[in-house]
Amino acid sequence: MSELLQRRLALLGAPEYLPLLGGNLHGIERECLRVDDDGQLALTPHPRALGSALTHPQITTDYSESLLEFITPAETDPAVTLADLERIHRFTYAHLGDERLWSASMPCPLPDEEAIPIAEYGSSNIGRLKHVYRKGLALRYGKTMQCIAGIHYNFSLAEALWPLLQRSEGDTRPPRDYQSESYIGLIRNFRRYSWLLMYLFGASPALDAGFLRGRPHQLQAFDEHTLYLPWATSLRMSDLGYQSSAQSSLTPCYNDLASYTDSLRLAVSTPYPPYAAFGTKRDGEWQQLNTNVIQIENEYYSSIRPKRVTYSGERPIQALMARGVQYVEVRCLDINPFLPLGIDLEEARFLDLFLIYCALLDSPLLENGECRSCTENFLKTVKEGRRPGLHLQHQGRQVLLRDWGLELLEAMAPIAALLDRHHGDDAHARALAAQRAKLEDPELTPSARILAEMRERGESFVQFALRQSRQHEAFFRALPLSDAERQAFEALATQSLAEQAELEAQPRGDFDAFVAAYQASIIGVAV
């Protein structure tokens, strides 16, 4: 264990400071496709009973009208966060009719690209902007890729923890800068070690053969309807999933917050010739917000992002530049098709351990090719993470994935002990032990379990995922919400519809001018 990590854990282990480790905030965003009874993509509009996808704080849509996104409030106890997520699922199922939620990250069989519905957000300028942004995604990357679903895990350490560490280390920077750079340090360590999350929780080793639309690939045939890689953990996070040639040079190494925000500001203001060839309009109709490397900062595909809660009308980069980093958003997690929520408490507790470890550990700058090796370790793990004897690059040498993983888990054990002492149980130690077992036996990983079950049952990927979807549907429908919970969700839905109607009743102004002002709001921000 490093000297810095030892000192920090000793400080936080003191009785008066131990509660700070229990003050982390957790939020989950879970995406999932709506499908019909046969497991085909639902082409119906977003159910009105769920409220407005534009203004509802917990139930919205992502890329497609068929791609739901559930958003929990931030809670200090991940068990409460998961309970929030479960209630959202139960309310949604009460209004899905004969549709259900797809259980996996990789999509169900998709119709022709033209038939995949892009999400609609109404006639207000902000609603139109959200729709045009998604039209741009379709133009740039195709609709198929945008139907992949995942789980985003939002995490922050207790606000009072940062000034304590800063005082103890004699750091004289402004507190906001210390906190921001500490989160950027967390992100650098996440880049170093996130291959481990892909091994432990990757759950997309196979996909429907139609997903590739005839594109060349190096996958193998599992059966006539399914493609896979035998040692893969997460094809979703490979170059077959989220990919963009335009973004290939946009790989911030997170050596400081300013370089990160500068790189995104440059990307949203630099034309990219292939996108310029499309133009922003065709026959007078908007087809993308601009012709730049990315239309808005959210288009940057990354496995983790620094975040700050935004004010109304404020853009994410503006919030980061004005007030610094407040939390991180982990974006590389697959939906576990064996779990009704796609994630469970054991995984959440391990994620806490992992992220606290990344935050408290020394985090030198990513230099001398380390940024590239981080990317290569990640991609190697998503494609062949369970391969026996697989080696990764670590400090200029080749190490066994298994050995490095066990070493990292051992380093997290003191954090688990402190958290369990604070909570008065052994839940974090058990979460750690469950991950250790996966490193010792790859057959326990979700990716291996999926392939094993498909083989045992003679199922294609789609048959497996549909069977799991039906099991989850039965789980949620068996226990409806209480009257009070149902009424609270109905009130939220009604309120969101009223808020959208109010937006649409306001004088709208020229949409072209609205888009231009939105674009200028980021280009003109002073560094």
Instruction: Check residue 249 and give its pLDDT.
Output: 65
What is the pLDDT of the chain when averaged over all its residues? 95
What is the pTM assigned to this prediction?
0.96
CB 368 within 8 A of CB 395: no
- With tokens 């992992």, the residue in question is 354
Mean pLDDT confidence for 17-21: 96
Identify the band that residue 301 occupies on the pLDDT scale cut at 50, 70 and 90: confident
CA distance to 29, 153, 201, 429, per residue, from 433 (Å): 26, 21, 14, 6
Q: In this structure, what token pair is assigned to residue 473? A: 């549907």
- With tokens 């990716």, the residue in question is 447
SS3 (DSSP) at 392: strand
CA 10, distance to chain mean position in Å, is 32
Instruction: Check residue 312 and give its pLDDT.
Output: 81
Q: In this structure, what token pair is assigned to residue 202? A: 């990757």
Compute the distance between CA of residue 290 and CA of residue 280 in angstroms, rounded to an integer.
6
- What is the set of domains in the chain, with CATH numbers? 23-383+460-523 (3.30.590.20)
Instruction: Check residue 248 and give its pLDDT.
Output: 67
Pick from 70-84, 238-252, 424-438, 471-485: least confident? 238-252
Instruction: Check residue 527 and give its pLDDT.
Output: 24
Pick from 153-167, 291-305, 474-488: least confident? 291-305
Compute the distance between CA of residue 194 and CA of residue 93 in angstroms, rounded to an integer.
33
- Please name the residues in contact with 100: beta carbons below 8 A apart, sequence gap of 6 or more: 34, 35, 37, 93, 469, 470, 472, 473
Instruction: Check residue 242 and give its pLDDT.
Output: 55
Identify the band that residue 328 occupies on the pLDDT scale cut at 50, 70 and 90: very high
Counting Cα atoms < 13 Å in the Cβ hemisphere of 454 gives 26
Residue 524 clears pLDDT 70, i.e. is over it? no
AA identity, residue 354: F
Mean pLDDT confidence for 346-350: 98
List residues bridging with 370 in a β-sheet: none
Instruction: Check residue 523 and give its pLDDT.
Output: 56
DSSP class of residue 118 equals B
Residue 112 clears pLDDT 60, i.e. is over it? yes
**Residue pLDDT, tens place only, 217-259:** 999 999 999 999 999 999 999 988 655 667 766 666 688 899 8
**Residue pLDDT, tens place only, 362-416:** 999 998 889 889 999 999 999 999 999 999 999 889 999 999 999 999 999 999 9
CB 330 within 8 A of CB 351: yes
Mean pLDDT confidence for 66-71: 98
Residue 351 clears pLDDT 80, i.e. is over it? yes
Higher pLDDT, 312 or 330: 330
Residue 525 clears pLDDT 60, i.e. is over it? no
SS3 (DSSP) at 59: strand
Identify the band that residue 526 occupies on the pLDDT scale cut at 50, 70 and 90: very low
CB 477 within 8 A of CB 93: yes
Instruction: Check residue 326 and give its pLDDT.
Output: 98
Instruction: Check residue 1 and give its pLDDT.
Output: 77
Instruction: Check residue 244 and give its pLDDT.
Output: 65
Q: In this structure, what token pair is assigned to residue 151? A: 């789980």
Identify the band that residue 141 occupies on the pLDDT scale cut at 50, 70 and 90: very high
Residue 15 clears pLDDT 90, i.e. is over it? yes
DSSP track, 176-245: HHHHHHHHHHHHHHHHHHTHHHHHHH--BSEEEGGGGTT-----EEEETTEEE-TT-SBGGGSTTSS--S
